């Protein structure tokens, strides 16, 4: 049986947002490879479900300074090196730009951007001492923003910008920064995101319902279809493991064929042509009750 001192002597990886999905799968995979994984979860029941050999769950809400301070103290109390920080925590909510209350915009940014920056600032000195690496889990939504994906996409576009700047700042100091861009992944987060989107749609004013209701229905149906056919969390964890372990990791990894295709298209197609392709892909999901003028307007966008 491995003792606590032996675990503390192992190289460590911190994974935030490890309660379910990609985070939990990554924690299990990295522990299997011999790392001591500090897995951030928000509830005790999630901690118990994740408590496996090599995994030490820690209660972590990345928007709380006291939680981050406790995590930092735990990392620095270990004798082993901090090999990597995987910034994976996140929330999802889709709504048209006009309709989403500013408090919801702020909530998304607090978790999907500012929380990651706070954890990074706290642990970067340790990563620098150990020549570790930083893995930021972005999204294909950090490269292309579909209709209603403006709020979520804005947080991911911002995370991509922070990652680019940080990569250029710390590469000469021995720390590698890697961005991972998943497409459709079969996780509870995806299901929760759809549920939140439906709640936000119900709260829209009658005027907004007329204006955007069919679009929200179409995007939600398309998202559900892509998620059902998406990559498993376990396969996503293999990509994250590669980003942690590769001697010379790429600056970006995509997960899933949809992410790989869309990120390539954003690099080569003019905006208007990309708009037409997005509209064509959405067309089969428009509700049959939608006014023809709305569908035609979407196709002309």
What homologous superfamily does CATH list for 4-202+232-270? NAD(P)-binding Rossmann-like Domain (3.40.50.720)
User: Does 152 participate in catalysis according to the annotation?
Assistant: yes
- Count helices and strands in the chain by DSSP H and E runs: 13, 9
What's the chain's average pLDDT?
Answer: 92
Residue 2 pLDDT > 80: no
- For the entire predicted model, the pTM comes to 0.91
Name the least confident of 15-19, 170-174, 219-223, 272-276. 219-223
Model pLDDT for residues 231-261, shown as the tens digit of each residue: 899 999 999 999 999 999 999 999 998 899 9
Q: Domain coordinates of the chain in residue numbers?
A: 4-202+232-270
Model pLDDT for residues 168-193, shown as the tens digit of each residue: 999 999 999 999 999 888 877 677 77
Model pLDDT for residues 5-50, shown as the tens digit of each residue: 777 888 999 999 999 999 999 999 999 999 999 999 999 999 999 9
Catalytically annotated residue among 152, 212, 253, 285: 152
| pLDDT above 90: percentage of residues in the chain | 78
Residue 293 pLDDT > 60: no
- The confidence score (pLDDT) of residue 195 equals 83
The mean pLDDT value for 111-122 works out to 98
How far apart, in whole angstroms, are the C-alpha atoms of residue 261 and residue 96? 25
By the 10 Å C-beta count (0-12 exposed, 13-18 middle, 19+ buried), 296 is classed as exposed
């Amino acid at each position: 049986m491995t003792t606590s001192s032996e675990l503390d002597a192992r190289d460590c990886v911190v994974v935030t947002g490890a309660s379910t999905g990609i985070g939990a799968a990554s924690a299990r995979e990295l522990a299997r490879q011999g790392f001591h994984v500090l897995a951030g979860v928000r509830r005790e029941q999630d901690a118990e479900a994740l408590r496996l050999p090599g995994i030490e769950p820690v209660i972590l809400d990345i928007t709380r300074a006291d939680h981050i301070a406790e995590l930092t103290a735990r990392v620095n109390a270990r004798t082993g090196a901090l090999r990597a920080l995987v910034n994976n925590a996140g929330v999802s909510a889709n709504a048209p730009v006009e309709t989403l209350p500013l408090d919801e915009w702020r909530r998304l940014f607090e978790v999907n951007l500012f929380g990651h920056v706070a954890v990074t600032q706290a642990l970067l000195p340790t990563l620098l001492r150990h020549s570790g690496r930083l893995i930021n889990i972005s999204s294909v939504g950090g490269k292309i923003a579909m209709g209603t994906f403006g709020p979520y996409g804005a947080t991911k576009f911002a995370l991509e910008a922070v990652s680019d700047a940080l990569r250029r700042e710390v590469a000469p100091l021995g720390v590698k920064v890697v961005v991972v861009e998943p497409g459709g992944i079969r996780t509870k987060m995806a299901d929760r995101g759809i549920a939140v989107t439906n709640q936000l749609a119900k709260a829209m004013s009658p005027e907004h319902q007329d204006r955007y209701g069919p679009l929200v229905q179409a995007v939600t149906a398309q998202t559900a279809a892509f998620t059902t056919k998406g990559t498993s969390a376990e396969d996503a964890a293999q990509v994250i493991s590669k980003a942690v372990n590769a001697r010379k990791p790429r600056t970006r990894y995509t997960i899933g064929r949809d992410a790989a295709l869309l990120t390539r298209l954003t690099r080569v197609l003019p905006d208007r042509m990309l708009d037409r392709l997005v509209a064509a892909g959405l067309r089969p999901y428009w509700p049959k009750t939608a006014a023809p003028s709305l569908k035609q307007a979407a196709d002309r966008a």
